[in-house]
């Protein structure tokens, strides 16, 4: 988005980050809880589960399209106003999802719910980074992202349980209420700012001319796919390969969320001291723990520990968000929003690649080596990014 014309007057930075993280909590809850509620709304809408899966794809499509679209549209609007409006749109989309009368309307409402996702996180990251010294930006971004990771530990199980006990519509209604709460917190605590006078959609689109922006986005779109390759089929792997009871599956999913949360506390601290080395190290770490997945899969303790380690790799998002701030020039909002389009691309690539391995008869745990290949491919793009940056610096 645009630069801020004057230093904003803010409340305590911790309160601002809490307000922004609450939005991440709402978004994370709906993004992941929809998967666990799928059998229930499939039955409620009179469709089979594979067809209901398109509802999840509709949300992801909304994220991919909405991230750049909202960032460009909002180029001349103050960040505080944008955050409030984006969360209002998110509340509307989820509220309507709770009322969807047919499958067609559900598709439309989930697409609508996904539109503000990427732009919200991108703007929230920029606001959080603006509140701290430059050498603490990634830590601030990581704190905002904690809202999403904590959602995988608390919000998703709660929404799923309530959705199963009361009805699937209540799960989406809860997310709408969380979004309304976020709007109140933004109104109370977000910095009052104004867009720079030279801000424009054309200037935001300038990010697309920068090779380093595209390379950084590619690191996330490819390297992050490894995590999703395993996560998409984790529940089935636990039942079919590890032979645990279905009741143990939520425990392991919770451990995954704890790993993501811990990663977003520790990794950003490291990234503020060595940004790109931390990103490269994290991709290598992810490749190793993903490659170990088939060995760990038959053993409940080992697969739980490995899933925890795979979750730590989810902190790559905060690292790449800061990198985009460094290479996007004055097109900050579009680049920041595109980061989340890249990760939703990874969410498509990872399960697709893992599914190919499973369909080829390599077994449910083959998603681990597939994920390791994606992580190493992301590491290759990371190395190319460093080479290109040094080449440009030498010109």
Residue 304: the pLDDT is 95
Residue 395: the pLDDT is 66
Question: Tens place of pLDDT for every residue, the chain, 395 residues?
Answer: 444 444 445 557 788 999 999 999 999 888 777 776 777 888 888 888 777 778 887 888 898 888 888 888 877 788 889 999 999 999 999 999 999 999 999 999 999 999 999 889 888 988 988 888 888 889 888 888 888 888 888 877 777 677 777 888 988 999 999 999 999 999 999 888 776 656 556 566 666 677 888 999 999 999 989 998 898 788 888 988 999 887 788 888 889 989 999 999 999 999 999 999 999 999 999 999 999 999 999 999 999 999 999 999 989 988 998 898 888 777 777 777 888 888 888 888 888 888 889 888 999 999 999 999 999 999 999 999 999 888 877 76
By CB atoms closer than 10 A (0-12, 13-18, 19+), residue 171 is buried
Q: How far apart are CA 13 and CA 129, in angstroms?
A: 10
144 sits in which H/E element = helix 137-150
Q: How far apart are CA 289 and CA 291, in angstroms?
A: 5
pTM of the model: 0.83
Domains of the chain: 1-199 (1.20.1250.20), 206-395 (1.20.1250.20)
Contacts of residue 163, defined as CB under 8 A and 6 or more positions apart, other chains included, come to: 33, 36, 37, 40, 169, 170, 171
* Residue linked to tokens 């103050």: 78
Residue 197: the pLDDT is 58
Q: Could you give the dihedral angle defined by the CA atoms of residues 244, 367, 62 and 259, in that order, rounded to the nearest 10 degrees?
A: 60
Nearest to 29 by CA among 167, 176, 137, 143: 176
* Residue linked to tokens 């990663």: 263
């Amino acid at each position: 988005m645009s630069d801020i014309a004057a230093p904003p007057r803010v409340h305590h930075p911790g309160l601002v980050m809490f307000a922004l993280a609450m939005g991440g909590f709402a978004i994370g809850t709906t993004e992941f809880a929809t998967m666990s509620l799928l059998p229930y709304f499939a039955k409620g809408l009179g469709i089979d589960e594979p067809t209901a899966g398109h509802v999840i794809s509709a949300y992801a499509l909304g994220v991919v399209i909405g991230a750049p679209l909202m960032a460009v549209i909002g180029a001349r609007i103050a960040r505080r106003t944008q955050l409030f409006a984006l969360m209002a749109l998110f509340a509307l989309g989820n509220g309507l999802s709770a009322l969807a009368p047919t499958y067609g309307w559900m598709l439309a409402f989930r697409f609508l719910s996904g539109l503000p996702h990427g732009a919200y996180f991108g703007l929230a990251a920029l606001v959080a980074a603006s509140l701290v010294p430059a050498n603490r930006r990634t830590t601030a971004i990581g704190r905002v992202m904690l809202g999403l990771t904590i959602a995988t530990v608390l919000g998703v199980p709660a929404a799923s349980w309530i959705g199963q006990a009361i009805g699937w519509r209540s799960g989406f209604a809860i997310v709408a209420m969380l979004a309304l709460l976020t709007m109140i917190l933004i109104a109370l605590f977000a910095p009052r700012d104004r867009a720079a006078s030279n801000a424009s959609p054309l200037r935001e689109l300038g990010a697309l001319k920068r090779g380093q922006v595209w390379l950084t986005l590619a690191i996330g779109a490819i390297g992050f796919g490894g995590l999703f390759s395993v996560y998409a089929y984790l529940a089935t792997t636990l039942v079919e390969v590890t032979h645990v009871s279905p009741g143990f599956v939520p425990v392991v999913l919770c451990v995954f969320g704890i790993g993501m949360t811990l990663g977003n506390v520790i990794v950003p601290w490291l990234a503020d001291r060595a940004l790109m080395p931390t990103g490269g190290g994290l991709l290598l770490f992810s490749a190793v723990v993903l490659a170990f997945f088939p060995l760990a899969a038959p053993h409940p303790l080992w697969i739980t520990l490995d899933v925890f380690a795979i979750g730590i790799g989810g902190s790559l998002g905060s690292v790449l968000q800061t990198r985009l701030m460094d290479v996007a020039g004055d097109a900050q909002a579009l680049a920041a929003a595109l980061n989340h389009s890249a990760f939703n691309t990874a969410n498509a690539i990872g399960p697709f690649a893992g599914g190919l391995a499973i369909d080829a008869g390599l077994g449910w745990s083959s998603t681990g080596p597939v994920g390791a290949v994606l992580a190493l491919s992301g590491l290759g793009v990371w190395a190319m990014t460093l080479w290109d940056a040094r080449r440009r610096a030498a010109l």
